[in-house]
């Protein structure tokens, strides 16, 4: 059976060059970065080399990069750590309604700790309006966190415009760039942000690798107390293989970013155009043009995402869905609901995310596999039966 | 993939008795798309037995497998027996459901029950109107 992996937002594969760079630090070069002997030296060199490469990917300085264990950790660290460091100036925080849970739930925790949180709404494409951010700012706003792109619907946010609005207010601006760093050009200076989260497993690096870029001079309260690792900002023995892998992935992404987008965008565009042509009542979710290169997301009406996902899996196609049934919490995607989609349509969410291993044949295979799957589930859907009856009645 | 066992997967991949019955004797609908799952059961009744059962289901793999299993369990049973079907018995026949799917997707027995209620209500009102005719 053909196997087509189209879930690169969940995680990308790890490139062989990345694995190669990691292996010595799992084998002979096992030293602890903090050790003062030769073993420590080689580990330290690897970490500092990776720091340079990650800084280079996003246009920052090496000393501004703090390694973490995931995008989630970076977001938690940024939102809670920056808010805690600024709390003498105020206790108001602004986030968008479609942030990743690592930001939204961190904001919820801050609420429990006595902070106030405002959620900026999005439009039907999932776009955050900089004017709405401006309207939400108050004198006591200390932190704004808006994602660079949403991985569920692929929409890229106007971060530069939002950052300039926030800067005027004096609040700190953090962006979750987990979906963009290593995928599209990201430059912290050009974006005008104060802090930025990224994760290696979104751009062909290893899982368990992440970083928070924090502009020099911006204060943060450490999350993990302990030793002097990461400039005292993130204690704990450095995960040298993961960090080395992240560095290599950053280096490869930096060199190849334009070519990658050029490879992925046609696959995305073909699926975005053809799937709604092949199957009736399929809605494209997210922005039509301001979207991630390899990202095609839809809602298929009258049926549910998990069932589609399982049937696609039986054809060797791996995708994800924002339906309530696929989430452990059994809640429909907060992103789709924030974009104004009704629950029953959000239930039919399906997300195809292309990576470097994919080809146009994969798109054709999906276009072939999807119609019978949708037809099969619609034939057993009471919602579809009702829709058909309504249509007949209307005529 | 969600952690479904082989039996659940079999009923999901090859659901039994899917469809609608024309002129059913009873119809039962439960759930709504907000919580994720929706099921409509149709029954035919002959001599107090469920002679045919079909359903339509909007929902996840578990919801579809549950519907299929309920339809198999209900067929041929007396109304009294069929009414004794519970979500627990259905889950047992399916050899277990993931814990987070146990409640939301396990609506089949309830939908079947509603269909039987619907049938009995109709019978009741039929009996009443027949009485009325006699008078």
Q: Predicted confidence band at A159 (pLDDT cuts at 50, 70, 90)?
A: very high
pLDDT, mean of residues A131-155: 98
Average pLDDT over residues A86-98: 98
Q: Around Cβ A369, how many Cβ atoms within 10 Å?
A: 18
- Residue in A336, A259, A247 with CA at minimum distance from that of residue A20: A247
The domain ranges of chain A are 4-10+257-394, 16-253
Residue B111 lies in a domain: yes
Cα-trace Rg, chain A: 22
**Which is it for strands A349-353 and B49-58: parallel, antiparallel or unpaired?**
unpaired
> How much is the pLDDT for A42?
97
- Per-residue pLDDT reduced to its tens digit, A18-54: 999 999 999 999 999 999 999 999 999 999 999 999 9
Is residue A174 predicted with pLDDT exceeding 80?
yes
- DSSP element (H, E) containing B42: strand B37-46
Is A315 near chain B, with CB under 8 Å?
no
Q: Which fold has domain A16-253?
A: 3.40.640
Provide the pairing of β-strand A92-96 with B49-58. unpaired
Q: What CATH number is attached to the domain comprising B97? A: 3.90.1010.10
Give the residue numbers of A annotated as catalytic, written as ranges: 325
CB contact under 8 A, A328 and B100: yes
Rounded CA separation A355/A292 (Å): 11
* Contact criterion met (CB < 8 Å) for A385 and B19: no
Ranges of residues in chain B whose predicted pLDDT is under 50: 134-135
Residue appearing with tokens 């922005």: A287
Tens-digit pLDDT profile for residues A365-393: 999 999 999 999 999 999 999 999 998 87
Domain membership of residue B48 (yes or no) is yes
Q: Indicate whether A15 pLDDT > 70.
A: yes
Give this complex's ipTM.
0.90
> Pairing mode, if any, of strands B49-58 and A172-176?
unpaired
Distance from CA of A141 to the nearest CA of B (A): 35
B21 domain-assigned: yes
pLDDT at A395 exceeding the cut of 70: no
Contact indicator for A231, A63 with CB cutoff of 8 Å: yes
Residue A86 has pLDDT above 70, yes or no: yes
Instruction: Return the pLDDT at B126.
Output: 80
A&B contacts, CB < 8 Å: 78
User: One of B104, B117, B122, B123 is an active-site residue; which one?
Assistant: B104
Chain A residues near residue B56 by CB distance under 8 angstroms: 380-382, 385
Select which of B2, B3, B13, B35 is catalytic. Answer: B35
List chain A residues with CB under 8 Å of B35. 324, 330
B48 Cα to chain A: minimum distance (Å): 27
- Say yes or no: domain A4-10+257-394 is CATH 3.40.50.150: no
Nearest Cα neighbor of A4 from A375, A371, A355 is A355
Q: According to the model, what pLDDT value does residue A158 have?
A: 98
Phi, psi for residue B112 in degrees, rounded to 5: -65, -45
- Work out the mean pLDDT of chain A and round it to a whole number: 96
CA angle in degrees (0–180, nearest 5) for A69-A71-A77: 80
Give me the domain span that covers residue B87.
6-121
The number of domains in chain B is: 1
* B134 part of a folded domain: no
């Amino acid at each position: 059976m053909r196997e087509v992996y189209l879930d690169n937002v969940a995680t990308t594969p790890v490139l062989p060059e990345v694995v190669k760079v990691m292996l010595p630090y799992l084998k002979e070069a096992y030293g602890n970065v903090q050790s003062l002997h030769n073993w420590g030296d080689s580990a330290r060199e690897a970490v500092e080399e990776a720091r340079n490469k990650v800084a280079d990917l996003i246009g920052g300085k090496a000393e501004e990069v703090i390694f973490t264990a995931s995008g989630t950790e970076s977001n938690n660290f940024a939102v809670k750590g920056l808010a805690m460091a600024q709390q003498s100036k105020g206790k108001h925080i602004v986030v968008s309604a479609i942030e990743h849970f690592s930001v939204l739930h961190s904001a919820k925790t801050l609420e429990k700790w006595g902070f106030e949180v405002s959620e900026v709404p999005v439009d039907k494409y999932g776009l955050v309006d900089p004017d709405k951010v401006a309207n939400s700012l108050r004198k006591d706003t200390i932190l704004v966190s808006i994602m660079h792109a949403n991985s569920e619907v692929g929409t890229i946010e106007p971060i530069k415009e939002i950052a300039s609005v926030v800067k005027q207010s004096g609040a700190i601006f953090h962006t979750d760039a987990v979906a963009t760093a290593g995928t599209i050009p990201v430059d912290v200076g050009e974006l005008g942000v104060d802090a930025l989260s990224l994760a290696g497993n979104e751009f062909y690096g290893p899982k368990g690798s992440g970083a928070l870029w924090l502009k020099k001079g911006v204060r943060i309260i450490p999350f993990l107390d302990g030793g002097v690792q990461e400039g005292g900002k993130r204690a704990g023995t450095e995960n040298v293989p993961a960090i080395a892998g992240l560095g290599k992935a950053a280096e490869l992404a930096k060199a190849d970013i334009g070519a990658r987008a050029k490879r992925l965008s046609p696959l995305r565009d073909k699926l975005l155009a053809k799937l709604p042509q092949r199957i009736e009542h399929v809605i494209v979710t997210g922005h039509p043009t301001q979207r991630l290169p390899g990202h095609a997301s839809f809602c298929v009406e009258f049926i549910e995402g998990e069932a589609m996902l399982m049937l696609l899996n039986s054809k060797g196609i791996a995708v994800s869905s924002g339906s309530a049934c696929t989430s452990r919490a059994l809640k429909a995607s907060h992103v789709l609901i924030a974009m104004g989609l009704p629950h029953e349509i959000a239930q039919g969410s399906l997300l195809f995310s292309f990576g470097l291993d994919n080809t146009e044949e994969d798109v054709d295979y999906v276009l072939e596999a999807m119609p019978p799957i949708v037809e099969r589930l619609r034939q057993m859907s009471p919602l579809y039966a009702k829709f058909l009856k309504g249509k007949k009645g209307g005529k | 993939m969600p952690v479904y066992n082989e039996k659940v997967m079999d009923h999901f991949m090859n659901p039994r008795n899917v469809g609608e019955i024309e002129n059913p004797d009873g119809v039962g609908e439960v759930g709504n798309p907000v919580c994720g799952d929706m099921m409509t059961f149709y029954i035919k009744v002959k001599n107090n037995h469920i002679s045919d059962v079909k359903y339509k289901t909007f929902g996840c793999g578990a919801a579809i497998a549950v519907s299929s299993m309920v339809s198999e369990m209900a067929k041929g049973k007396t109304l009294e027996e069929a009414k004794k079907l519970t979500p627990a018995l259905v889950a047992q026949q399916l050899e277990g459901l993931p814990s987070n799917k146990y409640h939301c997707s396990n609506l089949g027995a309830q939908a079947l029950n509603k269909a039987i209620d619907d049938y009995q209500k109709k019978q009741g009102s039929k009996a009443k109107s027949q009485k009325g005719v006699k008078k």
